Amino acid sequence: MNLDNDQKEFPVLKAELEAEFPYGVLLITDAESTEQIPSWDSPEEPVAVAASALVVRVRHADEDEGEDEGEDEGEDEGDGADGGEVTVRVVDSPGDAAGGQIFSGELEVKSGVLNISDALSAATTEVQVTPDPVPVQIYAESTVDASSLYVVLT
């Protein structure tokens, strides 16, 4: 019985990316996709979707720098100590994710490789998947400027 509890405490990570995101966007794409990166329909929308690509709004790398450097207490949101870093964890079960679901759908990943990166591809990781439409769910602690996201591939 303890084994089951231990397994639940340690999610299986397929990949993890911790970085600053200069443009405040996370890209999730088929590694060989040439499809145009989608844009948002509205400023409130957390995820923009295309057949083989997702764009997710995340904390902009510069957002907390001014607060940290200038010690501006008027705009303190409680988590300025982390700067502009964002952590993206790729897991295989919704039970391993934290936060609220901000996306659920499928991505065409014909190459069998899902690329997860910032807009400049300076920070990137890849995940091997079955070359088919891949079910994807995204969970985040915030729908705007998220600093912690879970990408669930089932």
Please, which residues have CB within 8 angstroms of residue 13's CB and are 6 or more apart in sequence? 89, 90, 91
pTM over 0.85: no
CB neighbourhood size of 37 (10 A)? 14
Residue carrying the six token digits 């065409």: 108
Average pLDDT over residues 130-143: 95
Residue 141: pLDDT over 80:
yes
Q: Is 61 left (phi over 0), alpha (psi -120 to 50) or beta?
A: alpha
> How far are the Cα atoms of 51, 107, 113, 153 from residue 134, in angstroms, in the given order?
11, 5, 11, 7
Residue 130: pLDDT over 60:
yes
What pLDDT digit, counting tens, does each position of 57-111 carry? Answer: 999 988 654 444 444 443 444 444 446 899 999 999 999 999 999 999 999 999 9
- Kindly provide the b/e burial profile for residues 24-35, where b requires at least 16 CB atoms within 10 angstroms of the residue's own CB: bbbbbbbbebee
**pLDDT for the residue numbered 145:** 87
CB neighbourhood size of 105 (10 A)? 13
The CATH code that applies to domain 13-153 is 2.60.34.30
**pLDDT for the residue numbered 99:** 96
What pLDDT digit, counting tens, does each position of 13-59 carry? Answer: 899 999 999 999 999 999 999 999 888 888 889 999 999 999 999 99
Q: Domain residues of the chain, as ranges?
A: 13-153
Pairing of strands 85-91, 13-20: antiparallel
Tokens of 111: 């190459």
**pLDDT for the residue numbered 71:** 40
